């Protein structure tokens, strides 16, 4: 779906599928991601929403209340995608037998802990099998629900409760896993990376494309966490914009194997400006740690050039 044919106003005015009253934190990127993705559902369609154990699950469905206007399924960290795969198979069988007439879409939400790590095997299996579903990772770069422990999505040198800074530690010592590229390697019809920038056109358009693409689709949404990243709640959008402008989190999609870069900053923001907005990187601005920021910048520059090469951009 091309940007110039996408009706953002119509999409933004669709009925809410994820309603107010949930217990997600103020300034949380996860709840913003869910609302944006579900607005892509057309009013005539129904959905089965499956959520892996996460902040989103425990905060949105506290018995006897729920914030979901569609059918809701809670599964464990490790089997969310597999459960959705099973539900979609049952729906397909029942529809063939004439037992169901309504059109359903199948959407799974998981945090980075339940997607990059614990649930990766079931996600990979569902994508390889060709399940007609969308898996959405709201990536807040740590296990926020259980105490801000590092995950394989946590950036290098980030301060978490299990990669704490100190006299012998500069934070996490490994670079962040590139899950979006790994999902593209599954050769599925649609893979995209997005976040909240500008007028939300990017995430709205990609969500609709993912939901209405036949077969498996994967969305990776950068969704900052005010507690784990340590920023003031109103700064959510500014941090997302800085992530995109510094090329820490490029906006791109892979459509039937074709890589498409959706945004290239006119002037690339130095990564130090993005890091300076977050308390989890405060230690990097000690004079003795200047080399660590240089290492991060070098890695971002290399990966950005690799992405441009995949997208055939000189």
Residue numbers of the chain with a pLDDT score lower than 70: 1-5
Helix, strand or coil, per DSSP, at residue 62: coil
Backbone φ, ψ for residue 241 (5° rounding)? -65, -40
Strand 252-255 and strand 165-166: the pairing is unpaired
pLDDT tens figures, 116-140: 999 999 999 999 999 999 999 999 9
Q: Which helix (H) or strand (E) holds 202?
A: helix 201-211
CATH code, 149: 3.40.50.970
Please count the structural domains in the chain: 1
What pLDDT, on a 0 to 100 scale, did the predictor assign at position 1?
46
What pLDDT, on a 0 to 100 scale, did the predictor assign at position 199?
86
Helix, strand or coil, per DSSP, at residue 94: helix
What pLDDT, on a 0 to 100 scale, did the predictor assign at position 73?
94
In which domain, by residue range, is 209 found? 3-310
**For residue 70, with 0-12 CB atoms within 10 Å meaning exposed, 13-18 middle and 19 or more buried, which class applies?**
middle
193 near 103, Cβ under 8 Å? Answer: no
What pLDDT, on a 0 to 100 scale, did the predictor assign at position 63?
85
């Amino acid at each position: 779906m091309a940007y110039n044919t996408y009706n953002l106003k119509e999409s933004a005015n669709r009925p809410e599928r994820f309603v107010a009253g949930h217990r997600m934190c103020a300034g949380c990127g996860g709840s913003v991601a869910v609302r944006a993705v579900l607005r892509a559902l057309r009013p005539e369609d129904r959905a089965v929403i499956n959520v892996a154990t996460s902040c989103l699950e425990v905060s949105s469905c506290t018995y006897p209340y729920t914030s979901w206007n569609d059918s809701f399924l809670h599964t464990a960290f490790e089997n969310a995608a597999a459960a959705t795969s099973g539900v979609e198979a049952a729906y397909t069988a029942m529809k063939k037998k004439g037992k169901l007439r309504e059109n359903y879409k199948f959407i799974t939400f998981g945090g980075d802990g339940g997607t990059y790590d614990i649930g990766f095997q079931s996600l990979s299996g569902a994508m390889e099998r060709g399940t007609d579903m969308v898996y959405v990772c709201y990536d807040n770069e740590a296990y926020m629900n259980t105490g801000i422990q590092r995950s394989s999505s946590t950036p290098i040198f980030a301060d978490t409760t299990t990669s704490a800074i100190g006299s012998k530690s500069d934070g996490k010592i490994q670079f962040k896993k590139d899950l979006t590229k790994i999902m593209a390697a599954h050769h599925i019809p649609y893979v995209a990376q997005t976040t909240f920038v500008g007028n939300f056109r990017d995430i709205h358009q990609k969500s609709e494309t993912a939901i209405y693409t036949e077969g498996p689709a994967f969305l990776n949404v950068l969704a900052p966490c005010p507690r784990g990243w340590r920023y003031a709640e109103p700064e959510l959008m500014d941090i997302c914009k800085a992530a995109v402008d510094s090329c820490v989190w490029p906006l791109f999609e892979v459509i039937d194997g074709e890589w498409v870069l959706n945004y290239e900053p006119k002037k690339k923001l130095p990564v130090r400006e993005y890091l300076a907005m977050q308390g989890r990187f405060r230690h990097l601005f000690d004079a003795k740690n200047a080399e660590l920021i240089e290492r991060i910048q070098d890695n971002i520059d290399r990966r950005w050039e690799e992405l441009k090469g995949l997208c055939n951009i000189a």
